[in-house]
Structure 1
Amino acid sequence: MRPFTYTKAADVNAAVQEVSTHEGAKFIAGGTNLLDLMKIDVMRPAHLIDVTHIAHKTIEENDKGGLRIGALVTNNDTAYNELVEKRYPLLSHAILAGATAQLRNVATDGGNLLQRTRCYYFYDTATPCNKREPGSGCSAIKGYNRDLAILGTSEHCIATHPSDMAVALAALDASIHVTGKDGERTIPILDFHRLPGDTPHIDTNLKEDELITSIDLPAKGFPEHYTYLKLRDRASYAFALVSVAAALELDGTTIKEARIALGGVAHKPWRKPEAEAILQGKAATTENFREVAEAYLEGAKGYGDNDFKIELAKRAIVRALEQALKMEAAS
């Protein structure tokens, strides 16, 4: 690990001011991903700004009938929060599908959104990686790519985003509140993360001086028909090969609204609202679920080792929607 300086910010404005005046500065909260990357010399911040002593540690009702989750609330505190469990069980289940209880006790919700890819080549500083060193090349495209992306890729990067929580937030249409030197703004979750294009080293649409302060959940939480399906190589504490956050609003057996978000397949949580619209007004049948699965994977591309993920993702969508449909009988 390289030397760095360290300070604690008293409030959001102080944190934003400090990151604006220190070249190479990064915010740190739980540090469960950042510190790992610093130890192996993948990330090299010259200065760390501890934001764990500022506000934004509560979960409260917002003015639109939903919830506002402070960015410094831990993953476990969010997953086990009574309001989240009751009104947004999809989010609770997604969080509990990721990491160990010990990590979830420290990792913050804001930090979860900012965690970086687990691509082997990104972590291996002896190999070229455009995400780590822009312009050096992508070793994964012709290398071992079993875990990597099949949607939204580019010739520069086929990495995936590792978060489970972000997939559920994408299905729920959450919004991310941030503060920077130019003031506050809100970013829809679907616009927060970026596809790689020719700048795979830029993970999000956050400005360098901006700090996540909270996450807003809308009023609709789909508490009756939902599921978070995570397919992985082992049953616990592994990143997803494919994950699906699925939610349905039904009128009898007719679908009024469907939400589907995929994880483990792209550089960001993958939503395709035009494909979801295929199900609107249709019967909740396996045949119709297969139709939307085909639409979701249109344009998918495998790179050899990960070709199987295209069919796996289709089957996962169908299975997740079937599970969401059956949730009523279980409730």
Structure 2
Amino acid sequence: MNPFTYKRASDPQTALTLGVQPGAKYLGGGTNLVDLMRETIEHPIVLVDVTRLSCAIDETAEGNLRIGAGVKNTAAAADRRVRERYPMLSEAILAGASAQIRNMATVGGNLLQRTRCGYFYDDAAHCNKRVPGAGCDAVDGFNRMHAILGASPACVATHPSDMAVALAALDAVVTVEGRNGKREIPLIDFHVLPGETPHIETVLEAGELITAVTLPPAMTGRSIYRKVRDRASYAFALISVAVVLQVQDSVVKDVRIALGGVAHKPWRASAAEAAVKGGPATEAAFHAAVQTELASARGLRDNAFKIELAQRVIVDTLVRLTALQETH
């Protein structure tokens, strides 16, 4: 591990002042960053501890729920308002990691965790995310866990967060602060696709700090987070699905769908949403809508099965949520 200095920020302004130094990195729970430092992938010169900042969950005057970036994942999942209004978010957090990790990991850090692609962690492999311009060994290597949507020849890695998938379906907004003031960024626009620069993973500018994630008032209807993985105990998703669905008189009044395990970022299934909304809440309609969403999906040698798997999981989830509403 390379030498570095450690500084604890007592307030957001101090954090921002320290965070603009060359080689500075913000430290939340450290559940990903410290691992990356041990693996010599991240080389911060200054670690700015922000764990004591933005640690509250508050109601806003507009009826939103504001979750501070420093809130631990355990606290977010257990909060009564989250469990009652946004149960899908609690489900996603609980599916994402062991209790020990959830007790340390923060909401802001969860959004910034980096891919778990094996080639990214292997310093003997070519990886454009680790060394820009080096190439991508995953494209022709073992790529069972990799992307089927939005990938590029430069990178086929997936984003590992469960929580971020639920936030994408809930229309969450990320608040960041930096030298140029405060910005509000829709979660679905916060992460970026790889293109030719897969080492650039978010729209954050140098020194910007995530301070909160805000959830709008909960949509009427039923919601669920489902995660398909190789083992039930804290494996990363092959496919995950976050769905909020409102059905009235067998017609889809509103729907939001987000996918995990399929792309470089949490994938909002906007094409499927548009095809479903206002139409009949039937399995056939759902199947056709999901086919529209997955028309651009491209499988690699080891992960082409994900396309069919995604189709089945999304349709089955929509059917289940429809049944729950029609029987109550």
TM over 0.5: yes
1:230 alignment counterpart = 227
Alignment of 1:206-285 (within 5 A): 206-222=204-220, 224-285=221-282
1:68 is paired with a residue whose SS is strand
> Match for 1:33: what amino acid?
N
- Is contact 1:74–1:109 with CA below 8 Å preserved after alignment? yes
- Is contact 1:62–1:216 with CA below 8 Å preserved after alignment? no
1:103 and 2:101 matched: yes
> Match for 2:230: what amino acid?
D
1:292 and 2:292 matched: no
Deviation at 1:278, TM superposition (A): 1.1
- Is contact 1:226–1:327 with CA below 8 Å preserved after alignment? no
1:36 alignment counterpart = 35
Alignment of 1:84-99 (within 5 A): 84-99=82-97
Deviation at 1:2, TM superposition (A): 1.3
Q: Deviations over 1:145-168 (max 9, x none)?
A: 000000000110000000000000
Q: Deviations over 1:17-63 (max 9, x none)?
A: 1111x211100010000001110111111110001122x11111123
1:52 alignment counterpart = 51
Q: Distance in 2 between matches of 1:163 and 1:132?
A: 19
| Pairing partner for 2:189 from 185, 188, 191 | 191
1:3 and 2:3 matched: yes
| Pairing partner for 2:135 from 137, 141, 144 | 137
Deviation at 1:325, TM superposition (A): 2.2
- Is contact 2:52–2:70 with CA below 8 Å preserved after alignment? no
Q: TM-score, normalised by structure 1?
A: 0.97
1:125 alignment counterpart = 123
Alignment of 1:61-76 (within 5 A): 61-76=59-74
| Pairing partner for 2:308 from 308, 311, 316 | 311
Q: Distance in 2 between matches of 1:309 and 1:15?
A: 42
Q: Distance in 1 between matches of 2:215 and 2:324?
A: 21
2:164 alignment counterpart = 166
- Inter-CA distance 144–17: structure 2 relative to 1 (3 Å threshold): same
Deviation at 1:266, TM superposition (A): 0.1
2:110 is paired with a residue whose SS is helix
- Is contact 1:240–1:263 with CA below 8 Å preserved after alignment? yes
1:298 is paired with a residue whose SS is helix
- Is contact 1:153–1:266 with CA below 8 Å preserved after alignment? yes
1:156 and 2:149 matched: no
> Match for 2:251: what amino acid?
T
Deviation at 1:279, TM superposition (A): 1.1
- Is contact 1:16–1:181 with CA below 8 Å preserved after alignment? yes
Q: Distance in 1 between matches of 2:17 and 2:5?
A: 16
Deviation at 1:329, TM superposition (A): 7.2
Q: Deviations over 1:291-319 (max 9, x none)?
A: 11101111111110011111111111111
1:306 is paired with a residue whose SS is coil
- Is contact 1:226–1:325 with CA below 8 Å preserved after alignment? no
- Is contact 2:226–2:242 with CA below 8 Å preserved after alignment? yes
Q: Deviations over 1:236-287 (max 9, x none)?
A: 1000000000110121321101111000000001113232011112221111
Gaps of 5+ in 1: none
2:201 alignment counterpart = 203
Q: Distance in 2 between matches of 1:81 and 1:67?
A: 11
- Inter-CA distance 329–100: structure 2 relative to 1 (3 Å threshold): farther
Gaps of 5+ in 2: none
2:16 alignment counterpart = 16
Deviation at 1:330, TM superposition (A): 8.4
Q: Distance in 2 between matches of 1:91 and 1:168?
A: 5
> Match for 1:116: what amino acid?
R
1:274 is paired with a residue whose SS is helix
Deviation at 1:324, TM superposition (A): 2.1
Q: Distance in 2 between matches of 1:72 and 1:322?
A: 36
Q: Percent identity?
A: 54
> Match for 1:108: what amino acid?
T
Q: Distance in 1 between matches of 2:324 and 2:87?
A: 11
> Match for 1:43: what amino acid?
E
- Is contact 2:271–2:293 with CA below 8 Å preserved after alignment? no
Q: TM-score, normalised by structure 2?
A: 0.97
Q: How many residues are matched?
A: 328
Deviation at 1:327, TM superposition (A): 3.5
